[in-house]
Amino acid sequence: MIRRLLNLLILVLVSVIIFQCSSVTGEANKHDTMFKGFMIDAPRGVETMDYYFRLIDFLSNEGINTIIFRLTDDEGSAYKFRSHPELKMSDGALNYKELKQLIDYAEEKGIEMIPEIESFGHARYITDTDRYKFLDDAPEGSYFSAICPVSDSSLMLFKDLYTEVAPIFPGKYFHIGCDEVNWGHSERSKNALKYKSRSQIWTDYVNKLNEYVKDLGKETMIWGDYPIRKDTGALDQLSKDIIIVDWNYTETNKDKIIKTADNVLNKGFRLVASPAVNWCEWELRVGARQLDNISAYADVFFNDLHNPGNMGVILTNWKPQRYLQNSQWDTYYIAAHLISDDKTHNYLELIPAFLKQHFGVDYNKDWEFIYKTLYEDIPQTIECRSVDSLMFIPWHSDKNVREIFEKKKPMVNHFHKAAELLTTYRDSVKRNRTDLKALLLTVEFIDYNFNRHNELIDFMSSRQFSPTSVKHFFGEIAKNDQVMLSKVDSAWRVGRRSDNPGKISEEYLWSFRKAAAYSEYLSNNPESFMCLYYTLNRILINNRKE
């Protein structure tokens, strides 16, 4: 009897151990199949095939298994559609053969490529054309665009585009965008809104697009800003087989992340987290605060969120025209490891391994100073006002001069020392020297713009103005601006495709082209600055009296 009980107890203990092991193994296997992804924003800056091949290699080596390859946006299509060649094309758009090469290469490297075709907002690649202007559903002058969701022409167009693109991508997923939509302003939509709610029209439209995707043997993904944050009732009407990709680039509170995720998952949807590597807040480089955003989402989705609908994390990386291409590898390395390693990291813990692997150098206090400066002193761009600290853009207008005059807040500049240290270590770098060159130029460019900002403050504070002194000051700035513009312009073009080499985005590198043009204008028109200054000074005096 006792022996039977002992045998039974042993059997129970073994069963428990097996169950626990299988649970752990199951959790580990699930982690292996979850998205650990990256997004390529091709329509905002098509890059060379060689660069894309290199990026795929790099991401694969660092544990990335998925890439969303964005094909369309307001700027144009990064793919030359054969079914609709009349659509607006991005500068340097890829043809069928080139896109297929990239997809096949990624597959060889263990990366699934997911196409994204913007199908609601971000639609000027369609509505800017003569043929489809009638589908424009955004108000005149709106930054955010839209295509009419109640027109059969919209539906048929996307059915054509999906049908052409789906067979090129062998994977099972298809992203249809649908974020940041400013719709409802065409006569068709206004009339439809008399009979249906915005929520009904939105979900009816997205559900129809989902049916087209399913007919092609794919599964639909959409950006989640509308159903998650603007109209949560839409989740009750949206098809449950649609995968929602929750982009949020500022949240670091894990409890809030879990609450939002549970709200979506508990309604039966599958969910992908999508923090940002780079977005409009940063431009030249990203700050450590952005890495905190990635780390928080990675920790929740890979460690805390035990729901079968949790599909992992895909990092977004927006508008490559904003930075020097080869200055970003350390950020990609850190971001990839934050979502692919089993534990969370402080970004500085990952720098030594990156330096050894990428540049063949050993970490020391100097490199620590360089990277702490890069991540902790980098300013956010003034154009994306999400917080009030460290906002910056090179002065390039009367409005900028006024803001500097009112605040008189100089930039604390550690980038000059960082540039000196990078120059000192340049010869010791054993690998990827062109990448170090791009990083050094980025640091020098930031140093130059900080000094340019501070020099204007000093000049205005001196009050020693005459047509001659003003002309001399801005003449020197304009001359130095042109030297710097030539350097960064040459470096920026490395790895970029263009059918029109003279064309360049206004959004690149803090819009420095505008800054250089403005300083040249002031050097040729000193009276314009003097008039501006004395006007501002009078306003300041009057405000003090009041």
- Evaluate if residue 258 carries a pLDDT over 50: yes
Quickly tell me which residue has 């010791």 as its tokens: 428
- Evaluate if residue 544 carries a pLDDT over 90: no
- Evaluate if residue 145 carries a pLDDT over 70: yes
* pTM listed for this prediction: 0.92
- Cα 110 from chain centre: 23
What's the mean pLDDT in 385-395?
73
Task: Give the per-residue pLDDT at 30.
Answer: 59
Categorize the per-residue pLDDT at 31 as very low, low, confident or very high, splitting at 50, 70 and 90. Answer: low
Categorize the per-residue pLDDT at 542 as very low, low, confident or very high, splitting at 50, 70 and 90. Answer: low
| Pairwise CA distance, residues 223 & 212, whole Å | 17
The sheet with strand 89-94 has its strands ordered as 72-73, 76-79, 89-94
How confident is the model over 110-144, as pLDDT tens digits?
999 999 999 999 999 999 999 999 999 999 999 99
How confident is the model over 196-236, as pLDDT tens digits?
999 999 999 999 999 999 999 999 999 999 999 999 899 99
Superfamily of domain 33-348: Glycosidases (3.20.20.80)
- Evaluate if residue 414 carries a pLDDT over 70: yes
Categorize the per-residue pLDDT at 535 as very low, low, confident or very high, splitting at 50, 70 and 90. Answer: confident
- Evaluate if residue 190 carries a pLDDT over 80: yes
Relative to beta strand 89-94, strand 276-278 is unpaired
What's the mean pLDDT in 529-544?
74
Categorize the per-residue pLDDT at 533 as very low, low, confident or very high, splitting at 50, 70 and 90. Answer: confident
Task: Give the per-residue pLDDT at 119.
Answer: 98
Task: Locate the domains of the chain by residue range.
Answer: 33-348, 370-545
When the pLDDT of each residue in the chain is averaged and rounded to a whole number, the result is: 91
Exposed, middle or buried, 205 (CB in 10 Å: 0-12/13-18/19+)? buried
Q: Which position has the higher pLDDT, 539 or 41? A: 41
- Evaluate if residue 387 carries a pLDDT over 70: no
- Evaluate if residue 22 carries a pLDDT over 90: no
What's the mean pLDDT in 435-458?
97
Categorize the per-residue pLDDT at 391 as very low, low, confident or very high, splitting at 50, 70 and 90. Answer: confident
Task: Give the per-residue pLDDT at 318.
Answer: 96
> Range with the lowest mean pLDDT among 3-17, 326-340, 463-477, 483-497?
3-17
What's the mean pLDDT in 418-444?
97
Alpha carbons within 13 A on the beta-carbon side of 496: 28
With helix as H, strand as E and coil as C, how does 100-159 read? HHHHHHHHHCCCEEEEECCCCCCCHHHHCCCCCHHHECCCCCCCCCCECCCCHHHHHHHH
| Pairwise CA distance, residues 244 & 263, whole Å | 12
Categorize the per-residue pLDDT at 24 as very low, low, confident or very high, splitting at 50, 70 and 90. Answer: very low
Alpha helices (runs of H) in 341-414, residue ranges in sequence order: 347-354, 365-376, 398-407
Per cent of the chain over pLDDT 90 is 81
Task: Give the per-residue pLDDT at 156.
Answer: 98
